[in-house]
Amino acid sequence: MALLDELQRPTLLVNTEIARKNIAFMAEKARQKGVRFRPHFKTHQSAAAGEWFREEGVTAITVSSVDMAVYFADHCWDDITIAFPINVRQLRTVNALAKRIRLGLLGESMESIQHLQGQLEAVVDVWIKIDSGSGRTGLAWDQPTEVARLAHFVNSSPITRLRGLLTHAGNTYSAASREEVCQRYQSSVTRMANLQSDLWAGGYGLLELSVGDTPGCTVCSDFGKVDEIRPGNFVFYDGQMLRLGVCSPQQVAAVLAVPVVALHPERSEVVVYGGAVHLSKDVIVENGRPHYGYIVRLEVNGEWSEPLPESRMARLSQEHGIIAMPADAISGLHVGDWLGVLPAHICLTVAAMGGYRTLDGSLIKTCTPAEPV
Amino acid sequence: MALLDELQRPTLLVNTEIARKNIAFMAEKARQKGVRFRPHFKTHQSAAAGEWFREEGVTAITVSSVDMAVYFADHCWDDITIAFPINVRQLRTVNALAKRIRLGLLGESMESIQHLQGQLEAVVDVWIKIDSGSGRTGLAWDQPTEVARLAHFVNSSPITRLRGLLTHAGNTYSAASREEVCQRYQSSVTRMANLQSDLWAGGYGLLELSVGDTPGCTVCSDFGKVDEIRPGNFVFYDGQMLRLGVCSPQQVAAVLAVPVVALHPERSEVVVYGGAVHLSKDVIVENGRPHYGYIVRLEVNGEWSEPLPESRMARLSQEHGIIAMPADAISGLHVGDWLGVLPAHICLTVAAMGGYRTLDGSLIKTCTPAEPV
């Protein structure tokens, strides 16, 4: 039976051929540039997809939570950075992890490091989290004295091993063009390299530089003085990356298949079963207006077309998706037909769906949601 | 050990005393107005919370998906309306359900009804879905001929039993005030009643009227000529309802507990572990600016304060929440402290979290996410 004929509900489909090409491309780029490739696994969130990276020679990974680190450690990954500020409420779990794998943590305050030094029983790598311009969290890139003070404090105990400086140049996501992505990436790397020099001059040794963001790592031809890249989203890419021109439609590896449940040609809208609980509610802003994803046609084997012209996921409620598309495109549709949505932000869609199907029909479950405790 | 001392990660807490009061209030209001109370279970999504309704005499419920109907049928609910356009891809499951419970479905097209009549083997109730002004889906309230035509078609087979007219006056959610909520509710009910009269005159009998939305059912003192109400959100309420003045802070029954991971008093921000994968990304628009929830102080037993002044969940990424709050309120905080977030849209937060804890520490799991197939 063809894949789509087996499906009944909103289903996230992954084209593994495309995903593996995306991985191979980034792994090769890292090799050519001589940087460590420590991909972020928060996008695919699955041990099965992790194996695709292993086959490309990846041995070190990034995750976004302690629980995700436990999950991947349980699947034989033994060099993991948790790229999220230390949650001191989970230090017991962190301790257990630190005893079994090489664990990297992010420090950005004396207070958090103090907790680590007081409670850990096994050595961890500490990366000082730098805010290189995105304004989310971390020590500010233009406060070298603060950074040196924290570096000094990390060094004050052998249990916290100062490894390097880490940033997420997340402001590349809001760039207006590929050129701006590169400018922001370069600006971020320059700021990191300056801090590295300052710390070198201060006697802290040559700290490693870790950066990570899919737009920068995909688009920029010069990685600058970084030692490690941590992109994640690129494994599947998504509507936001497409909008930014970071990837082509042929590189998008995941689509949410949704059944049509009502047709409203009189107002150029189609209602599908596929809402906020499936896609999450991140947006793509296009011509000043937000929408929730691009619409594609699905083949019965699960492959999909390029985005259909003037077709967008316009509104979402809990389970309803309202697609805006031209009336003439609607005229050929029936209830029960499948449409595809290239989600705005695939990481959130993966988390919401809890798993995906490959085009050969295999089910890949993710590590989320963790047990609700 | 106090509840908060046991928690390690973002956790959704439910004050059952408040939730039960909310249920008792709505059940009593329905009794007084002489309407059937068919609460929507898409908000709490749990068999355990369903029992709180059963204790208030509720015997008929509403759900938003076929899978949710199966889940509640498995927990001894035998009168269920699936308030979502028929997904013809799930008719096998619908058929099995129709054989074991009294099942209500929504019809809005000949095509969907044709699928039902062709494939069902047990009688179902059909409610004609009317768009009474919200513009999501359904037959337009001002097209009585279309409605009559569909009613006629539903009546053409004994397997589809025409039950009534159903609407979701979802435009009350975007009202600017309690007064406007009532105006929109009344306008919606008047439109439904007119359609009911038209169909009565056309010989279709006296069809029931079912309406449902938390703002209208909470605020309006006159329910008009409706037979059934289907509010859902009111069991917990949330930030959007608070903003609309539909409920008071004392009626909000659920809070997301989040640990502080970084402090940025210099820019009046606190970073917490609690992001889009926990809260989802629905917004409250206040003074023209969107945010993701109100911030409260948590007691160690899990109870919470009124919303803290000038404190909002300002930004969300996958796991990070960035709270904007006054620097003097931040000065007393430490990493590892708990803060609470009253989510913008609790239904999506419940779906994202997959469960919640009551203040006595019990874990209540929800039916979502269903197995990813």
Cβ count near A272 (within 10 Å): 29
Which residues make Cβ contacts (< 8 Å) with residue B315, sequence separation at least 6?
A136, B292, B321, B322
Decide if B169 contacts B134 (C-beta within 8 A). yes
**Residue pointed to by tokens 């920068």:** A216
What pLDDT does B171 receive? 81
Strands B355-358 and B363-365: antiparallel
> Is the Cβ pair A88, B335 closer than 8 Å?
yes
CB interface of B with A, residues 303-332, below 8 Å: 315, 317-320, 322
Interatomic CA distance for residues A71 and A83, integer angstroms: 15
Residue of B nearest to A89 (CA): B8
CB interface of A with B, residues 228-257, below 8 Å: none
Indicate if the pLDDT at residue A158 is higher than 60.
yes
Interatomic CA distance for residues B243 and B342, integer angstroms: 11
| Spatial CA neighbour of A280 closest among A367, A169, A354 | A354
Decide if B207 contacts B176 (C-beta within 8 A). no
Which residues make Cβ contacts (< 8 Å) with residue B43, sequence separation at least 6?
B232, B233, B235, B236, B346, B347, B350
CB interface of A with B, residues 184-223, below 8 Å: none
How many contacts (CB atoms, under 8 Å) link A and B? 201
The amino acid sitting at B51 is: E
Shortest Cα–Cα distance, A32 to chain B (Å): 30
Indicate if the pLDDT at residue A132 is higher than 90.
yes
Shortest Cα–Cα distance, B158 to chain A (Å): 22
Decide if B341 contacts B321 (C-beta within 8 A). yes
> Is the Cβ pair A112, B369 closer than 8 Å?
no
Report yes or no: B264 at the A interface, CB cutoff 8 Å: yes
What pLDDT does A172 receive? 82
Cβ neighbours of A262 in B, within 8 Å: 85, 108-109, 112, 137-138
What pLDDT does A106 receive? 98
Q: What is the mean pLDDT of residues A194-199?
A: 96
What pLDDT does A371 receive? 60
Interatomic CA distance for residues A228 and A223, integer angstroms: 10
Spell out a b/e string for B246-258, using b for 16 or more CB atoms within 10 Å of the CB, else e. bbeeebbbbbbbb
Which residues make Cβ contacts (< 8 Å) with residue B257, sequence separation at least 6?
B4, B7, B10, B11, B12, B13, B298, B302, B338, B339, B340
| Spatial CA neighbour of B232 closest among B63, B364, B67 | B63
Task: Please tell me which of the candidates B66, B136, B261 has its beta carbon nearest to residue A85.
Answer: B261
Q: What is the mean pLDDT of residues A151-157?
A: 97
> Is the Cβ pair B369, A354 closer than 8 Å?
yes
Strand locations in B265-373 (E):
269-273, 284-286, 289-291, 293-297, 312-316, 320-324, 338-343, 355-358, 363-365
Indicate if the pLDDT at residue A231 is higher than 90.
yes
Q: What is the mean pLDDT of residues A117-131?
A: 97
Report yes or no: A90 at the B interface, CB cutoff 8 Å: yes
Three-state SS for A124-191 is EEEEEEEECCCCCCCEECCCHHHHHHHHHHHHCCCCEEEEEEEECCHHHHHCCCHHHHHHHHHHHHHH
In angstroms, the Cα distances linking A304 to A270, A279, A297, A335, B156 are: 18, 18, 6, 19, 39
pLDDT > 70: what percent of chain A?
99
Task: Please tell me which of the candidates A138, A347, A357 has its beta carbon nearest to residue B318.
Answer: A347
Report yes or no: A272 at the B interface, CB cutoff 8 Å: no
Report yes or no: A271 at the B interface, CB cutoff 8 Å: yes
> Is the Cβ pair B318, A351 closer than 8 Å?
yes
- The model's confidence at residue A1, banded by pLDDT at 50, 70 and 90, is confident
> Is the Cβ pair A320, B137 closer than 8 Å?
yes
Three-state SS for B236? coil
Q: What are phi and psi of A180, to 5 degrees?
A: -70, -35
Shortest Cα–Cα distance, B32 to chain A (Å): 30
This complex has an ipTM of 0.97
Report yes or no: B370 at the A interface, CB cutoff 8 Å: yes
Shortest Cα–Cα distance, A338 to chain B (Å): 10
Report yes or no: B114 at the A interface, CB cutoff 8 Å: no
Q: What domains can you pick out in chain B, each with its CATH number?
A: 3-11+247-365 (2.40.37.20), 40-231 (3.20.20.10)
**Residue pointed to by tokens 């037979």:** B227
Report yes or no: B281 at the A interface, CB cutoff 8 Å: yes
Burial of residue B177 (CB within 10 Å: 0-12, 13-18, 19+) is: exposed
Which residues make Cβ contacts (< 8 Å) with residue B199, sequence separation at least 6?
B144, B147, B148, B151, B165, B205, B207
Cβ neighbours of B135 in A, within 8 Å: 267
What pLDDT does A370 receive? 55
Interatomic CA distance for residues A78 and B91, integer angstroms: 46
Decide if B26 contacts B234 (C-beta within 8 A). yes
- The model's confidence at residue A170, banded by pLDDT at 50, 70 and 90, is confident
Q: Give which of B174, B317, B339 to mutate to test A binding, by max A Cβ within 10 Å.
A: B317
In angstroms, the Cα distances linking A360 to A43, A47, A353, A357 are: 21, 18, 19, 8
**What is the full per-residue pLDDT of chain B (373 aa) written as tens digits?**
899 999 999 999 999 999 999 999 999 999 999 999 999 999 999 999 999 999 999 999 999 999 999 999 999 999 999 999 999 999 999 999 999 999 999 999 999 999 999 999 999 999 999 999 888 899 999 999 999 999 999 999 999 999 999 999 878 888 888 999 999 999 999 999 999 999 999 999 999 999 989 999 999 999 999 999 999 999 999 999 999 999 999 999 999 999 999 999 999 999 999 999 999 999 999 989 999 999 999 999 999 999 999 999 999 999 999 999 999 999 999 999 999 999 999 999 999 999 999 999 999 999 976 565 4
Cβ count near B354 (within 10 Å): 19
Please state the pTM of the whole predicted model.
Answer: 0.97
Q: Give which of A136, A368, A371 to mutate to test B binding, by max B Cβ within 10 Å.
A: A136
Q: What is the mean pLDDT of residues A314-320?
A: 96
Task: Please tell me which of the candidates A66, A111, A280 has its beta carbon nearest to residue B334.
Answer: A111
Residue of B nearest to A257 (CA): B373
pLDDT > 90: what percent of chain A?
94
Cβ neighbours of B335 in A, within 8 Å: 85-86, 88, 109, 111-112, 115
Interatomic CA distance for residues B262 and B255, integer angstroms: 20
For A265-298, write each residue's pLDDT tens digit.
999 999 999 999 999 999 999 989 999 999 999 9
The amino acid sitting at A16 is: T
Shortest Cα–Cα distance, B201 to chain A (Å): 27
Q: Write out the DSSP string of B264-289.
A: EGGGTEEEEE--HHHH-S--EEETTE
Cβ neighbours of A348 in B, within 8 Å: 276-277, 281, 318
What pLDDT does A37 receive? 98
What pLDDT does A22 receive? 98
Decide if A147 contacts A139 (C-beta within 8 A). yes
CB interface of A with B, residues 9-28, below 8 Å: 9, 11-12
CB interface of B with A, residues 328-357, below 8 Å: 334-336, 347-348, 351-357
Task: Please tell me which of the candidates B7, B65, B315 has its beta carbon nearest to residue A319.
Answer: B65
Three-state SS for B16? helix
Structure tokens at B149: 């035509």
What pLDDT does B369 receive? 60
For A43-93, write each residue's pLDDT tens digit.
999 999 999 999 999 999 999 999 999 999 999 999 999 999 999 999 999
Q: Give which of A8, A71, A337, A357 to mutate to test B binding, by max B Cβ within 10 Å.
A: A8
Task: Please tell me which of the candidates B319, B347, B372 has its beta carbon nearest to residue A363.
Answer: B372
Report yes or no: B2 at the A interface, CB cutoff 8 Å: no
Q: Write out the DSSP string of B154-190.
A: HHTSTTEEEEEEEE--GGGGG-SSHHHHHHHHHHHHH
CA angle A105-A107-A113, nearest 5°? 100
